[in-house]
Structure formats: C-alpha cells, structure tokens
C-alpha cells in the first residue's frame, strides 16, 4: 500500500532505487464488472451456486456506493463470496441455486450496516408516499415536508451530488411548531435511526473536541469523537443538530466540510462518510422577530422577519451550502385543535 511504501521503501533511498515503483490504481465500475465475470466460474464451483449477470452488476455498483472504507475490486469480490457462503448457513431445502440481485442487496445492507430497503428498489414505494406519510404525522408544516420529500426523491434518482449528504437543511422557526418532530418522523418512515445532538452542550470551544475527538496530547485523545463515532456506527441515519445557533462558531467550520464533501476526519486521522446522512439543523433564530410582528396563532406570513434574522445569524458560506432553509410558521388554531 501507499502507507507501507512510505514507511519502508521511501525512507531507504538505496533500496528504493533498486525497485521500479508501479502504481496500481483502483479499477472503474465497468472494469470491476469485467473482473468479476472472469472470477464468477471459480466462485460458482466453490459455493455450488450460479450468479446471474444482474447479480454481478449489482454487487459492483452497490459495493462502490455503500462500502466506503475499502476499494474495488476487493469489496465487490467479498460481496460475491459472502452471498455464496451465506447459502451454506441455511438448511439444504432452503438453499438457493441461483443468486440474484435481491440476495446481493441483503448482503450489502448487512456489510454496510444500513436498512435493507435503503439499497433495494422497494424503497421507491416508500419515497413515493413519503410526503403523504409525513403530513399524516405532522400537521401545519406542509412546506417543510414538501422540501424534504423532494430531496429524498432526487437522491434516490441519482440527481444529487454523490459526494454530499443526501440533504442539508436548516429548520427555522419558533419552539414547539414541529421542527424536531419532522426529523423524527422522517427517520421513522425511512426506517433509519435518528442521531440527535443538543448544541447547547457545545457552546464552548473546548467542547467541540467531544464531537470529533481531542487533539493528540490532550485528555480523551484515545476515546474518539461522539459525532464521528455515531456516524461511523450508523452511516445511514437522520442527523439532528438541535438549536444550532447555540453552538460555538468553530462547529460551523466542521459542518462546512461535511456539507461540501460528505466526509469528516477525526483527530485519529479516520475519515467518516456522511454521504448517506440526512443532515437537519434546527434554530429558533427569528422566532422573537416573528412574535413581535403579531403575537398569537393567526398570522403565518411573518417568514420575512425570520429570514432576515437567519441571514444575520449564519454566514453566507454556511447558508449557500444548505439545500434549503425551511421556515416553520406559527401553528393555526385549527391545526392546534387537531
């Protein structure tokens, strides 16, 4: 590997000049499919099964998308091997002689620690009715729900930037109007966990190190970070950062990296993948301005006052990396009565 080359060969110039360095780059998805087609017969003979062409293609495409800590063709070969070996764990009467894309999806979900329906075509049905299902659970905030639903559908259709989170949203509005509930309901409908962090606990600069780990030489360096560990263990989730305006400004520099590249490196040098995360941040910024314009439930047209407060609170660099700033309005009396 590159690391071993630097540690052993590059330091010894006399040894280095006696070898010719040849860089072996990671193959493309198309090349990996050709490699697996060549290896298919050996695995079929070993596991006593048959792999369909669609299974080979699915193994390569899904492993490239969801298994991010390894390289092709290694991870795709492991998927093919694993799905064949799994047939030996079931009773002979239930073993499948032909491996299809469905079996590949189940193995990928297990290896990548994500819900099976997230890698299956079945999740199209969930996304099709996502807006309807959210509106059944959360009343009076249809605009926020529509924005979220659109982002999910774009992600599944492959129309979003593959190197960014599924969606990055800022929910702004008064307390108690459903911001956190929308995030919780989204996770429930999608069948993925909700990771919640209260930003009021990270108001001091030194507290930010708890999220990504302490620097070398500081207490807690060997313990890792709460945020990076949580996403590493559950890479497909809804990440809720509650009351983001209370966090120390240094946190926003971390979030810029997450929203831009879909990755975050902790102080141990480990890179954590955020590309399968729905990032939702909530803020009460502007709520007091909206209240001053008209106290009570009735007036829901105070969004302009809230927008101005959000612009003052958050930098243009931060706002421009968001997929949407979603204003939550005061609830109408008839909505509250429901």
Write the pLDDT tens digit of every residue in 151-169: 777 766 666 777 889 889 9
* pLDDT value at residue 299: 47
Which candidate, 242, 244, 246, 255, places its Cα nearest to that of 197?
242
DSSP per residue, 111-144: HHTS-GGGSSTTHHHHHHTHHHHHHHHS-S-HHH
The confidence score (pLDDT) of residue 298 equals 45
pLDDT digits (tens, 9 = 90+) for 103-146: 999 999 888 888 776 776 556 667 778 888 888 888 877 877 88
Mean pLDDT of 54-69: 90
> Is a pLDDT exceeding 60 seen at residue 271?
yes
| The pLDDT of residue 324 | 81
Q: Which residue has the tokens 């050709």?
A: 34
Q: 322 or 51: whose pLDDT is higher?
A: 51
Which of 65-79, 142-156, 321-335 has the highest mean predicted lDDT (pLDDT)? 65-79
In this predicted model, what pLDDT tens digit does every residue of 89-108 receive, in sequence order?
989 888 999 999 999 999 99
User: What are the structure tokens assigned to 300, written together?
Assistant: 């829901």
> What does 260-281 look like in DSSP terms, one character per residue?
HHSEEE-TTS-EEE-TTEEEEE
Query: Residue 37: pLDDT above 90?
Result: yes
Query: Would you identify the CATH topology of the domain 123-337?
Result: Rossmann fold (3.40.50)
For the segment 246-250, the average pLDDT, to the nearest whole number, is 93
Tell me which range, 120-124, 149-153, 197-201, 223-227, is most confidently predicted by mean pLDDT: 197-201
Whether the pLDDT of residue 239 is over 60: the answer is: yes
**Higher per-residue pLDDT: 298 or 172:** 172
The answer on pLDDT for 85 being more than 60 is yes
Q: Is 136 left (phi over 0), alpha (psi -120 to 50) or beta?
A: alpha
Assess whether pLDDT exceeds 90 at residue 318.
Answer: yes
Q: Is the pLDDT reported for residue 297 higher than 70?
A: no
Omega within 30 of 0 (cis) for the link into 229: no
Evaluate if residue 27 carries a pLDDT over 60: yes
Record the pTM: 0.81
Alpha-carbon gap, residue 77 to 43, rounded angstroms:
9
47 pLDDT exceeds 90? yes
Q: Where are the domains of the chain?
A: 2-112, 123-337
**Chain-wide mean pLDDT for the chain?**
85
Q: How many CB atoms lie within 10 A of CB 287?
A: 21
Percentage of the chain exceeding pLDDT 70: 86
- CATH T-level topology, domain 2-112: Helicase, Ruva Protein; domain 3 (1.10.8)
d(CA 146, CA 37): 43
Q: What's the average model confidence in pLDDT over 327-338?
A: 68
Contact at 8 Å (CB) between 151 and 167?
yes
**pLDDT confidence of residue 7:** 85
When pLDDT is averaged across residues 282-286 and rounded to a whole number, the result is 83
| Residue 239 burial (C-beta neighbours within 10 Å; 0-12, 13-18, 19+) | buried
Strands 271-273 and 167-172, sheet pairing:
unpaired
Looking at per-residue pLDDT, the higher value among 248 and 117 belongs to 248
What pLDDT, on a 0 to 100 scale, did the predictor assign at position 302? 54
Q: What is the pLDDT of residue 46?
A: 95
């Amino acid at each position: 590997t590159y690391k071993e080359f630097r540690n052993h060969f590059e330091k010894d110039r006399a040894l280095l000049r006696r070898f010719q360095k040849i860089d072996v780059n990671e193959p493309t998805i198309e090349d990996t499919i050709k490699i697996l087609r060549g290896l298919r017969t050996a695995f079929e003979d070993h596991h006593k099964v048959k792999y369909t062409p669609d299974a080979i293609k699915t193994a390569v495409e899904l492993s490239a998308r969801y298994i991010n800590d390894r390289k092709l063709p290694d991870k795709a070969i492991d998927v093919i091997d694993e799905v064949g070996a799994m047939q030996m764990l079931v009773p002979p009467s239930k073993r499948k002689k032909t491996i299809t894309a469905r079996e590949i999806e189940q193995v990928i979900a297990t290896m990548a620690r994500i819900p099976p329906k997230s890698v299956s075509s079945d999740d199209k049905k969930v996304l099709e009715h996502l807006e309807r299902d959210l509106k059944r659970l959360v009343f009076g905030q249809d605009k926020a729900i529509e924005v979220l639903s659109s982002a999910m559908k774009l992600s599944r259709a492959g129309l979003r930037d593959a190197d960014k989170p599924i969606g990055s949203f800022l929910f702004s509005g008064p307390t108690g109007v459903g911001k956190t509930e929308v995030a919780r309901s989204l996770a429930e409908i999608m069948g993925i966990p909700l990771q919640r962090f209260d930003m009021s606990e990270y108001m001091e600069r030194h507290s930010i190190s708890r999220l990504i780990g302490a620097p070398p030489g500081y207490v807690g360096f060997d313990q890792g970070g709460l945020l990076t560990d949580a996403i590493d263990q559950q890479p497909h989730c809804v990440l809720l950062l509650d009351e983001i305006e209370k966090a120390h400004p240094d946190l926003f520099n971390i979030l810029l990296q997450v929203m831009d590249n879909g990755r975050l490196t902790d102080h141990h040098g480990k890179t954590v993948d955020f590309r399968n995360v729905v990032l939702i941040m909530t803020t009460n910024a502007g709520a007091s301005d909206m209240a001053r314009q008209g106290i009570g439930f009735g007036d829901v047209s105070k969004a302009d006052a809230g927008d101005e407060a959000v612009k003052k609170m958050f930098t243009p660099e931060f706002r421009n990396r968001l997929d949407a700033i979603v204003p939550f309005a005061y609830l109408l009396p008839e909505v509250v009565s429901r």
